[in-house]
């Protein structure tokens, strides 16, 4: 129980620290990337670009990335957010107006971060340079979710873990199904 109390206290401290320590113009850049990523627009655009210009490798990366996003969203929004009811960080901790644009759903886990991590992690094995490029806005989305007051750091870490697991599931599930059917 003491460990949980310490984690919660660290969560609060890191959230408040991010709210005041990240300069406003960096916060605005983070918000611009997060806005592009809302409703998976950024990841769909990246997948379309990869599919159009990346040949077979690009199409594989696009399908893998979008499949991982779907799995991550089902796990986050369809399961985890339904089972938890964690409130968002208090608005008074945030000296900027980004805190006004927060969802009403449970804070745990971060679905935006899960989708971002899932997409980037699923693209890396198919097309490493593109996946590495996608990791930059994915990381920006994760930081923005804390800076804007939408999530605590542990929400973002859990979202990233779900995203990575979703990418792994998309990569290895076909092999596991094939093995179980063939023997």
Domain boundaries of the chain, sorted by first residue: 2-182
CATH of range 2-182; options 1.20.1740, 1.20.144, 1.10.238, 1.10.260: 1.20.144
* Interval 159-175: pLDDT, tens: 999 999 999 999 998 87
CB 99 within 8 A of CB 148: yes
Expressed in angstroms, the distance from the first to the final Cα of the chain is: 45
List the structure tokens of 11.
């969560």
List the structure tokens of 44.
């769909």
Dump the DSSP string for 1-44.
-HHHHHHHHHHHHHHHHHHHHS-HHHHHHHHHHHHHHGGGHHHH
Q: Which residues of the chain have pLDDT under 70?
A: 99, 177-178, 180-183
pTM of structure: 0.91
């Amino acid at each position: 129980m003491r460990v949980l109390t310490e984690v919660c206290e660290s969560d609060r401290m890191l959230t408040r620290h991010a709210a005041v320590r990240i300069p406003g113009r960096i916060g605005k850049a983070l918000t611009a990337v997060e806005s592009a990523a809302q409703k998976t627009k950024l990841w769909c655009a990246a997948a379309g670009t990869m599919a159009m210009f990346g040949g077979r490798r690009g199409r594989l990366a696009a399908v893998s990335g979008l499949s991982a996003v779907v799995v991550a969203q089902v796990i986050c929004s369809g399961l985890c957010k339904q089972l938890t009811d964690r409130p968002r960080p208090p608005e008074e901790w945030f000296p900027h107006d980004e805190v006004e644009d927060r969802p009403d759903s449970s804070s745990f886990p971060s679905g935006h971060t899960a989708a971002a991590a899932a997409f980037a992690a699923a693209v890396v094995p198919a097309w490493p340079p593109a996946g590495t490029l996608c990791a930059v806005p994915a990381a920006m989305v994760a930081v923005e979710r804390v800076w804007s007051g939408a999530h605590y750091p542990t929400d973002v870490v859990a979202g990233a873990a779900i995203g990575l697991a979703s990418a792994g599931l998309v990569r290895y599930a076909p092999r596991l199904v094939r093995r179980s059917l063939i023997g």
